[in-house]
Structure 1
């Protein structure tokens, strides 16, 4: 497997910021949909509509999914780690805690990713700068959250579910590197894993929630599902796998540090939420964490010496 670069170029940073905006929107869309629909139904609608969208794009552009057995096994593994487990845990958790709090808890993913990458890869080992960067970013998340998120009546299980989703994403970031060795393009990876997620989730939804028996959702809920599937999933995954293929698992994990500001901004714009001083302080720490993990700032400061 070719080694991952330890730094991102300008184009990858731009894609990372765009990805954070798309995934920040997913917490907002979840927050709308969870008011009317149960978790598995929301997740199935998300992955199935996203898969259909990407299959249409592939058909229009003349692309085809690979037919090799080992590739489809990898699609299934990625579908579980990157879709089924985290999507379900996040939606279930958002049924009990605010979307902004969920996005902040989800930003612990880089901490899990660097530990998983250290144990399962040869070229993404822990370094003092990466440890310091992740700690700074995690402290920023803690500052943004403050004490308010844990002082309410929400059960501990809801917070544990979001942290479990972050851990699953960490494993997915490392697991997804195998597609470089298999020679699978980002578009095919995104389409294949969503297809497998849809196939695996369909029988669970039919048995557990029987969505045909649910009341017809309101227009806002339907639009939220469409946005969740097409914008925050189909388009987002194209960016995700492109960054992962070039910059590696640790780099892609940085997106979760950028998601809370996006989610908070959406909350301010559409839900009447207020930006608090702790959010500004948290953003500063998150920026420091990004700089330390990326490494370019330290190298530039070391050049004159």
Structure 2
């Protein structure tokens, strides 16, 4: 479960074979399914500890495949501070709010609301990255998408109660924190293999969650472990986190930015369909309309702009 944001173009790409479409389709399928796996796992596992244990397992897997293949430590001492800040924002704040939010909203709506990461990333990049100014097309897309979020959250408040509203708002706030983390990492230009960058962020992010989870949720050995909750945990950790990170970074030099970013448009509808077909979730017309606005706005943000289009200047 990872939205593609700031990815730089390469002047060259390795030869594309059958492995590329398989990897791309795998990412679409897995990232469409993680939302339902979270929803099902939350039936037995508390959200804070669920997040912490998921990424603890993912860290172990990433380290196991990285040792002897890439440098494990950042080059600069200051990089640790950036990794700590972004790790807390991405994995402690974002995922805790996401898991807690899914206690109160459907998995499909959570996927749609989390898909706002590129919108917030675009706004933060306007102020933090001089070479990524905010253009009119992207601004229009952001307004449309945020209008969809407003429609969804308004429906949650009016028909599902305050907890559903705050759950949806929490998912959106988590998306904003994840977007800021993504932009900050790009702004600081950390020289570290992507898999290890993610592993270090996970380490800093789950450290407070392990302590907080033990204090609030108690000893994990006493949780209501079932075969399904164990399956969901391992699926999210190994397939939904470690494998998808590795596949994403393998695809980076092999696909265009547009091809990678298209995953962000496919996973929310996929999550909605899986939630409806396998999870028994229902989606009122207003929520589907809001989701359509969100995806339309994201498409406008990703669409290649007209070269003559002006950008927004401050002052």
TM-score range, shorter chain: 0.7 to 0.9
Report what 2:55 is aligned to. Answer: 47
The structure richer in helix per residue is 1
**Greater Cα offset, 62-71 or 280-289:** 280-289
Aligned to 1:70: 78
Give the gaps of 5 or more residues in structure 2: 1-5, 308-315
Q: Which runs of 5+ in 1 are unaligned?
A: 300-305
Q: Which stretch shifts more, 221-230 or 147-156?
A: 147-156
TM superposition shift of 1:17: 7.1
Corresponding residue number in structure 1 for 2:200: 192
Cα distance, 1:280 vs structure 2: 7.3
Residue 238 of structure 2 is matched in structure 1 by 230
Q: Please name the residue that 1:262 is paired with.
A: 270
Q: Which stretch of the first structure deviates more once superposed, 253-262 or 120-129?
A: 253-262
Indicate the SS of the match to 1:177.
helix
1:18–1:226: structure 2 CA closer, same or farther, 3 Å change rule? same
Shift of 1:137: 3.9
SS of corresponding position for 2:195: helix
**For the residues of structure 1 that align with 2:141 and 2:8, how far apart are their CA atoms?**
17
Pair 1:159-2:168 in alignment:
yes
Quick one: distance in 1 between partners of 2:49 and 2:306?
Answer: 46
User: Number of matched residues?
Assistant: 293
5 Å matches for 1:141-220?
A: 145=152, 148-150=155-157, 151-155=159-163, 156-178=165-187, 181-212=189-220, 214-220=222-228
Partner in structure 2 of residue 119 of structure 1: 127
Residues 81-120 of structure 1 aligned to structure 2 (within 5 Å)? 81-120=89-128
Q: What is the distance in 2 between the residues matched to 1:102 and 1:171?
A: 19
Supply the distance in 1 between the matched residues of 2:109 and 2:242 (Cα, whole angstroms).
24
Q: Which residue of 1 aligns with 2:311?
A: none
8 A Cα contact 2:49 2:209, kept in partner: no
**Alpha carbons of structure 1 residues 172 and 120: separation in structure 2 relative to 1, 3 Å:** same
Moved more, 273-282 or 184-193: 273-282
CA deviations 1:245-266 (Å, max 9, x no partner) are 999x999887655432121121
Offset at 1:86?
Answer: 0.6
1:274 Cα deviation from its structure 2 partner: 5.9
Q: Which residue of structure 2 aligns with residue 303 of structure 1?
A: none
TM-score, normalised to structure 1's length? 0.78
> Secondary structure of the equivalent of 1:271?
coil
The C-alpha deviation readout for 1:66-91, integer Å capped at 9, x for no partner, is: 25433333322221111110110111
* Distance in 1 separating the partners of 2:82 and 2:253: 15
**RMSD over aligned Cα atoms:** 4.0
In the alignment, does 2:126 pair up with 1:130? no
Q: 1:93 to 1:291 in 2, by over 3 A?
A: closer
Is the contact between residue 7 and residue 296 of structure 1 (CA under 8 Å) also seen in structure 2?
A: no
SS in 2 for 1:63: coil
